[in-house]
Structure 1
């Protein structure tokens, strides 16, 4: 019973830490439908909207290119934290 209680407390602490740090990471993949370079934002063919963090060269994103990567949810927006772009 003691080990079970410790496991539950550790799990609860981990969930709390993740919720405070900004949320869960997710995966994205698809073809770019539109790119808005000035707002550092692109839309995938399935309608998923993704914003690109500072430091990533947004100029490398082109309509029709394929992307895959991961994002973090911040203030209700998907912010790409890792992107791989291919033509």
Structure 2
């Protein structure tokens, strides 16, 4: 669960407080989800502003999942290559 930042809190302060709440083994996964979510929300904003197009919330969620899955596959392949 991600807490919505309170008014006036700086992004870095919010990020650090969110990460500090987690066990070390969960931090990379949560960071990945937050980064891909922010990135896709920004890209959707740009599509709407500059291209006059919009995607549904479920389509954006699917894009986030796709990117996270691609990253997971890439990391898995990298680990396999390192062990050979």
TM band (smaller chain): under 0.3
* TM-score normalised according to structure 2 size: 0.27
Structure (1 or 2) with the greater strand fraction: 1
Q: Which of 1 and 2 has higher RCO (CA within 8 Å, sep 6+)?
A: 1
* TM-score normalised according to structure 1 size: 0.26
Structure number with larger C-alpha Rg:
1
Structure (1 or 2) with the greater helix fraction: 2
